[in-house]
Amino acid sequence: MNGPAGRRLTAATLTVVALATGITACSSGGSSSAKGADSGTYTVWDPYPQFAGDSAWAKLLDSCGGKAGVKIKRTAFDTSDLANKELLAAQQNNSPDVLIVDNPVVSTLAEAGVLTTTADNKVDTSKADANLLAAGQSGGKTYGTPVGANTLALYYNKDVLKKAGVDIASVKDWPSLTAALAKVKKAGEKGITFSAIGTEEGSFQFLPWFWGAGAQLTRLDSGQGVSALSLWKGWLKDGYAPNSVLNNTQTTSWQEFATGDYAFAENGTWQLANAEKAGFDYGVVPIPGATGGTAPAPTGGEFVTVPVQSDTGRYATARKLVTCLTSDANLYATDTTLSYVAPTSAVQDKQVAANDKLKPWAAAVKAAKGRTSDDLGTKYPKISEQLWKAVQSALSGARSPKDALAAAQTAVK
User: DSSP of 292-316, one letter per residue?
Assistant: SSBPP-B-B-EEEE-B--SSGGGHH
Q: What is the pLDDT of residues 64-118, one digit of tens each?
A: 999 999 999 999 998 878 999 999 999 999 999 999 999 999 999 999 999 999 9
CA separation for the pair 185, 151 (Å, rounded)? 28
Q: What is the pLDDT of residues 253-297, one digit of tens each?
A: 999 999 999 999 999 999 998 999 999 999 999 999 999 999 999
On whether the CB atoms of residues 274 and 252 are closer than 8 A, the answer is: no
Could you list the beta-strand ranges (E) of 141-299: 141-142, 145-146, 152-157, 190-193, 262-268, 282-285
Least confident span in 57-71, 83-97, 150-164, 369-383: 369-383
> What confidence tier does 339 reach under pLDDT thresholds 50, 70, 90?
confident
What's 291's DSSP letter? T
Confidence at residue 101, expressed as pLDDT on a 0 to 100 scale: 95
CA separation for the pair 242, 230 (Å, rounded)? 15
Q: Which residue intervals of 34-105 are DSSP H helices?
A: 56-68, 79-91
Res. 3: pLDDT tops 60? no
Helix (H) or strand (E) holding 107, with range, is helix 106-111
CB neighbour burial string for 70-87, b if at least 16 within 10 angstroms, e if fewer: bebbbbbbbbbbbbbbbb
Res. 6: pLDDT tops 90? no
**Nearest by Cα to 208 from 301, 296, 104:** 296
Q: Do domains 3-150+299-367 and 152-297+377-412 have the same CATH topology?
A: yes
On whether the CB atoms of residues 9 and 250 are closer than 8 A, the answer is: yes
139: left (phi over 0), alpha (psi -120 to 50) or beta: left
Q: Report the DSSP beta bridge partners of residue 155.
A: 265, 284
Confidence at residue 374, expressed as pLDDT on a 0 to 100 scale: 84
Q: Which fold has domain 3-150+299-367?
A: D-Maltodextrin-Binding Protein; domain 2 (3.40.190)
Q: Which fold has domain 152-297+377-412?
A: D-Maltodextrin-Binding Protein; domain 2 (3.40.190)
Confidence at residue 35, expressed as pLDDT on a 0 to 100 scale: 52
Confidence at residue 180, expressed as pLDDT on a 0 to 100 scale: 98
Helix (H) or strand (E) holding 402, with range, is helix 401-412
Q: Report the DSSP beta bridge partners of residue 307.
A: 115
Give mean pLDDT, residues 219-244.
98
Q: How many CB atoms lie within 10 A of CB 69?
A: 10
On whether the CB atoms of residues 149 and 115 are closer than 8 A, the answer is: no
- Locate the domains of the chain by residue range: 3-150+299-367, 152-297+377-412
Q: What is the pLDDT of residues 171-230, one digit of tens each?
A: 999 999 999 999 999 999 999 999 999 999 999 999 999 999 999 999 999 999 999 999
> What confidence tier does 17 reach under pLDDT thresholds 50, 70, 90?
very low
Q: Angle between the 315-325 and 56-68 helix axes, to the nearest 10 degrees?
A: 140
Q: How many CB atoms lie within 10 A of CB 274?
A: 16
